[in-house]
């Protein structure tokens, strides 16, 4: 059995699956249930400064998009940070940490961008015995309009400043949660690193409107006929999140900084992919909000079985395993040539590959074979784009098969070279030409 025990910036948990700071971690009742179900840790729902708590809307807080059979694909929310008294939360955090010493309890914080505000809340959190803090620089709605959340995360200088305060006024490990609502996520990541953060976590939610009601012309979720952008999460955001994680994991300034991966993680496989891209652990929210806490069982057994199968004995062996394979486009091997191959035994003759290629791509798939309905790749036209694979409804029916060195690429008539060659040295690249001259 693979060892799933996780140590993230020194915070220990029996497995790498934490619940992200969100409604599922707003109070002891939920967190108790989560720990009973097997979650390795929680990031407590964001606490604000002492004083009257924030107020939430009393209408719908969530919007969604669905796939077939109403499977939830994307969720957005306009809920704010915790709307419970600070002292209530602190008391419950302390009790939970005392009752569940082997689990990770991290506290998410969002207070005004003023030194005193941070200076005063940090000791209160430290007193609970919590394992660490997460700085919420991500929430894109409500709080950002008050100068917090993503309003901080979008300004690297602010990120660095607040991280410094937290490191200065607390012994606790600091995880800086980043917003994806920014052009280059490496900038705030570097700022957090420079400020001395112990780790970053990402992504927070993405600005979004999930739907417009075509009767009332109100965005959804609709509050008395009006809507506002909310934070988007769930399976739909996973590709965006993974790209951002990988950018930080391979950045020359931040590659040593631990990352807690967040964004649409629903199964063990999603978690393994994030970890391969450099996440030291993962945080989950939407999947739990969709299916309940029991899903962690599937995540634990799935990750464990996969690690056994691959011969990995600890999480550390998985983390970052794919990072060396993430590169810039210009370094991709242009001598690697693949062609689509359709397995005629598996083909059900829906013709989607043909029409996708015919209408929108390279006219490289026939619609007849020997005069009868049938679909076959025309190697002379196939550029190996993979669109047919992606639109085919049958698993493994169409595959991309690389040509061997020495084969003739029928499209170009050229022999496939065994050598690696990329854009930087390609004759069509003006920069390469200049360098050669």
Partner 1 sequence: MTQGIYKTGVAAQRLEADAYAENFSDLHPAFDWHEAQVEADRCYFCYDAPCQTACPTDIDIPMFIRQIAADNPIGAAKTIFDQNIFGGMCARVCPTETLCEEVCVREIAEGKPVQIGRLQRFATDTAMAEQKQFYQRGRATGRRVAVIGAGPAGLACAHRLAMHGHAVKVFEAKEQAGGLNEYGIAAYKTPNGFAQAEVDYITAIGGIDIEYGKALGRDLAVGDLVKDYDAVFIGAGLGAVNSLGLGAGDIAGVENAVDFISELRQADDLAGLPIGRRVVVIGGGMTAIDAAVQAKLLGAEDVTICYRRGKENMNASEFEQDLATSKGVAIRHWVKPVAVTSEDGAVTGVEFEYTRLEGGKLVGTSEYFVEPADQVFRAIGQRLDETVFGDAGVDLDGGRIRTDAEGRTSHPKVWAGGDCTNRGDDLTVTAVAEGRDAAESIHKALVG
Positions in the binding site for partner 1 (CB under 8 A) = 67-70, 348-352, 354-355, 367, 373, 393-394
Round to whole Å and give the CA distance between 156 and 134: 17
Round to whole Å and give the CA distance between 368 and 358: 13
Q: Is residue 139 annotated as part of the catalytic site, yes or no? A: yes
At closest approach, how far in Å is the CB of 344 from partner 1?
Answer: 13
- Specify whether the CB–CB gap between 113 and 95 falls below 8 A: no
At closest approach, how far in Å is the CB of 75 from partner 1?
Answer: 19
Round to whole Å and give the CA distance between 39 and 296: 6
- When computed from its CA atoms, the radius of gyration of the chain, rounded to whole angstroms, is 25
**Residue number, 330 or 366, with CB nearest to partner 1:** 366
Report which of 387, 379, 375, 391 is spatially closest to residue 416, judged by C-alpha positions: 379
Out of 139, 353, 388, 397, the active site residue is: 139
Four-residue CA torsion sign, 366, 368, 369, 374:
positive
**Residue number, 127 or 349, with CB nearest to partner 1:** 349
- Specify whether the CB–CB gap between 354 and 366 falls below 8 A: yes
The per-residue DSSP string of 228-267 comes to: --EEEESGGGHHHHHHHHHHHHT-TTTTTS-EEEESS--S
- Specify whether the CB–CB gap between 104 and 41 falls below 8 A: yes
At closest approach, how far in Å is the CB of 359 from partner 1?
Answer: 9
Q: Which helix (H) or strand (E) holds 340?
A: strand 338-342
**Residue number, 87 or 390, with CB nearest to partner 1:** 390
Q: Which two three-digit tokens encode residue 131? A: 């394992």
At closest approach, how far in Å is the CB of 63 from partner 1?
Answer: 17
**Residue number, 194 or 366, with CB nearest to partner 1:** 366
52 dihedral zone (left: phi>0; alpha: psi -120 to 50; beta):
beta
At closest approach, how far in Å is the CB of 224 from partner 1?
Answer: 25
**Residue number, 394 or 408, with CB nearest to partner 1:** 394
- Is the peptide bond between 203 and the residue preceding it cis, with omega within 30 degrees of 0? yes
Q: Which helix (H) or strand (E) holds 353?
A: helix 352-360
At closest approach, how far in Å is the CB of 393 from partner 1?
Answer: 5
**Residue number, 224 or 395, with CB nearest to partner 1:** 395
Active site residues: 139
């Amino acid at each position: 059995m693979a060892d799933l025990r996780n140590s993230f910036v020194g915070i220990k948990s029996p497995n790498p699956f934490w619940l992200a700071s969100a409604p599922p971690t707003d109070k002891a009742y939920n967190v108790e249930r989560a720990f009973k179900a097997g979650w390795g840790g929680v990031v407590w729902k964001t606490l604000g400064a002492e004083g009257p708590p924030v107020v939430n809307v009393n209408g719908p807080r969530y919007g969604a998009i669905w796939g077939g059979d109403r499977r939830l694909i994307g969720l957005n929310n306009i809920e704010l940070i915790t709307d419970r008294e600070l002292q209530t939360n602190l008391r419950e955090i302390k009790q939970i940490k005392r009752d569940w010493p082997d689990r990770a309890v991290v506290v998410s914080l969002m207070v005004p961008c003023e030194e005193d505000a941070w200076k005063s809340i940090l000791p209160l959190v430290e007193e609970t015995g919590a394992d660490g803090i997460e700085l919420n620089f991500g929430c894109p709605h409500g709080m950002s309009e008050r100068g917090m959340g993503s309003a901080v995360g979008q300004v690297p200088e602010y990120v660095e400043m607040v991280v410094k305060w937290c490191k200065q006024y607390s012994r606790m490990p600091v995880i800086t949660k980043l917003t994806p609502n920014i052009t280059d996520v490496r900038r705030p990541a570097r700022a957090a690193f420079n400020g001395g953060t112990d780790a970053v976590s990402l992504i927070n939610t993405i600005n979004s409107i999930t739907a417009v009601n075509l009767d009332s012309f109100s965005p959804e979720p609709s509050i008395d006929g009006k809507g506002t952008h909310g934070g988007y999460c769930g399976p739909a955001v996973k590709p965006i999140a993974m790209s951002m994680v990988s950018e930080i994991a391979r950045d020359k300034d931040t590659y040593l900084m631990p990352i807690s991966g967040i964004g649409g993680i629903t199964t063990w496989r999603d978690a393994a992919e994030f970890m391969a891209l450099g996440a030291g652990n993962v945080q989950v929210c939407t999947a739990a909000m969709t299916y309940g806490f029991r899903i962690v069982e599937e995540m634990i057994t799935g990750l464990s079985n996969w690690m056994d199968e691959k011969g990995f004995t600890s999480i550390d062996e998985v983390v970052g395993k794919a990072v060396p394979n993430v590169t810039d486009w210009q370094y991709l091997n242009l001598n690697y040539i693949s062609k689509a191959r359709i397995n005629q035994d598996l083909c059900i003759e829906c013709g989607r590959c043909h029409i996708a290629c015919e209408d929108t791509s390279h006219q490289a798939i026939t619609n007849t074979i020997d005069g009868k309905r049938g679909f076959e790749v025309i190697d002379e036209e196939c550029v190996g784009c993979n669109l047919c694979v992606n639109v085919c409804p049958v698993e493994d029916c169409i595959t991309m098969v690389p040509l061997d060195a020495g084969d003739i690429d029928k499209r170009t008539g050229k022999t496939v070279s065994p050598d690696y060659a990329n854009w930087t040295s390609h004759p069509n690249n003006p920069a390469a030409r200049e360098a050669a001259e």
